[in-house]
Structure 1
Amino acid sequence: MIRQILTQIGKYFIMLKEIFSRPTKWSVMRELIFKEIDELIIGSLGIVAFLSFFVGGVVAIQTALNLTNPLIPKYLIGFATRQSVILEFAPTFISIIMAGKMGSFITSTIGTMRVTEQIDALEVMGINSLNYLVFPKLIALSLYPFVIGISMFLGVLGGWVAGVAGGFVSSDDFILGLQDEFIPFHIVYAFIKTALFGFLLGTIPSFYGYYMSGGALEVGKASTTAFVWTSVAIILTNYVLTQLLLSK
């Protein structure tokens, strides 16, 4: 099992090297990049906005319901919402959801091309299929922090709406909590994580789609496997970065 995993990791790094070699002509690559931006980034904004707004509201309500001691200031609702959304919910939780949405889409798309021998046709024409298929996705996912920035804003907004509309906290107290002991580096930390998560979202599903074999049934299995390993990689990366960047 360990030997098989190490073999897969070796193939993964070989794939990364091949992605950035023998680049496709820019006139062709430009159209591919815009297509991937539309499918991966713009196509994800709706579900990200919906989840962020309502989960931010849930965080605020749950925090308010647990502040039963009247001596505890209400502004902590805004503080807890800010910390939860910025540090973990927006960058990590949304990325795991995107591993299912984006990852499955990427794996199934490339896997279908493998099954229908379109990738073989690209190689016959002298095109670097990995650069042609994966590089535009990586460029598109360089905009992934923009998606997470929207998620952060809507998560905090959802917490404010839920807290104020539900009568749990006043608007002034919530905003005071947002400003209390704010550490700007937390935003930097979140975007560093997001950039690495975007890279994992682009490469791991592509790996499982590109190197799959079999028929249509195997495409589904590859998508499931890609989701599992992308999620594992995101969680492990999150742990390592938290230790490196936040531990004192």
Structure 2
Amino acid sequence: MLTKFLSHVGRFILMLMGMLSKPENRKVYWKEFMHQCNDIGFRSLPIVLIISTFLGAVMTLQSAYQLVSPVIPRYVIAQIVRDSTILELAPTMICVVLAGVVGSKIASELGNMRISEQIDALEIMGINTKSYLIMPKIVAALFMVPCLIILAIVISMVGGYAAGSMTGTVLPDQFHYGLTTDFVPFNMYVALAKSFTFAFIISTIPAYYGYHVEGGALEIGRSSTTSVVVSCITILLADYGITALMLSNG
């Protein structure tokens, strides 16, 4: 099992090293980059907006339910929602969802190209397929996923504000005061660090499994499923590592 794991790691590193070459045609690469930005970013907007809205709303109501002591001011609920969303909920939960939505698409797309011998045809024409097919996906993910996370953080605050106002658990003035009180800018740097790290994981691991798939249509499905599982586990491990570093520097 260790040998198999090290083999995957070695092939993964070789794939990343193989894509680091100068683009043959910048216009073609730019077109592919914009196409991937649309697929990874804009097509993921609906699910990100829906999850973020209910994430903030549920977090607000759950915090209000647990803070039963009259000694604790109500604006603390907004602080809990703000810090929890920025540090953990928005980056981790949204990226786990994106690992399923975006990661499975990347793995299936590359796997289908491998099985139908499109990748082999591109290589015969002298095209660096790793650079042409994989690098635009990684760059687009590194650009779009942090933008989606920032948007998710904002929408979660709005969802929490709306839920608190409609249910009367937190008054609008209290919620606004809680959002702006004792804010630590370092938390945003941690959220962005997680976003870039998770974006790299979401784009590279499914690309690896899709690019190296062998067999037929059944193997494409298995490769896509495996890539999502490995991506989610890696995201959780990276989340723990970044959080541990945050605590050690705090």
> Which amino acid is the alignment partner of residue 84 of structure 2?
S
- Determine the C-alpha separation between the residues in 2 that align with 1:53 and 1:13: 38
> Which amino acid is the alignment partner of residue 160 of structure 1?
Y
Structural RMSD (CA): 1.0
Q: Which residue of 1 aligns with 2:236?
A: 235
- Determine the C-alpha separation between the residues in 2 that align with 1:142 and 1:228: 20
Pairwise mapping of residues 175-194 of structure 1 onto structure 2 (< 5 A)? 175-194=176-195
Amino-acid identity (%): 40
Deviations 1:123-172 (A, max 9, x none): 00000011110111112112221111100000111011001111101111
Q: Is the 8 A contact 1:113 1:119 kept in 2?
A: yes
Q: Does 1:160 align with 2:150?
A: no
- Determine the C-alpha separation between the residues in 2 that align with 1:212 and 1:8: 12
- Determine the C-alpha separation between the residues in 2 that align with 1:217 and 1:124: 26
- Determine the C-alpha separation between the residues in 2 that align with 1:72 and 1:226: 45
Q: Which residue of 2 aligns with 1:107?
A: 107
Q: Which residue of 1 aligns with 2:83?
A: 83
Pairwise mapping of residues 12-27 of structure 1 onto structure 2 (< 5 A)? 12-27=12-27
Displaced runs of 4 or more, over 6 A: none
User: How much does 1:21 deviate?
Assistant: 2.2
Specify every segment of 5 or more residues in structure 1 that has no aligned partner in the other structure, as ranges. none
Pairwise mapping of residues 113-152 of structure 1 onto structure 2 (< 5 A)? 113-143=113-143, 144-152=145-153
Q: Is the 8 A contact 1:22 1:128 kept in 2?
A: no
User: How much does 1:61 deviate?
Assistant: 0.4
Between the two proteins, the alignment pairs up a number of residues equal to 248
User: How much does 1:195 deviate?
Assistant: 0.7
Equivalent residue of 1:142, what SS? helix
Q: Which residue of 1 aligns with 2:174?
A: 173
Equivalent residue of 2:41, what SS? helix
TM-score, with normalisation over the residues of structure 1?
Answer: 0.97
Q: Is the 8 A contact 1:24 1:131 kept in 2?
A: no
Q: Which residue of 2 aligns with 1:222?
A: 223
Q: Is the 8 A contact 1:53 1:159 kept in 2?
A: yes
TM-score, with normalisation over the residues of structure 2?
Answer: 0.97
Specify every segment of 5 or more residues in structure 2 that has no aligned partner in the other structure, as ranges. none
User: How much does 1:24 deviate?
Assistant: 3.4
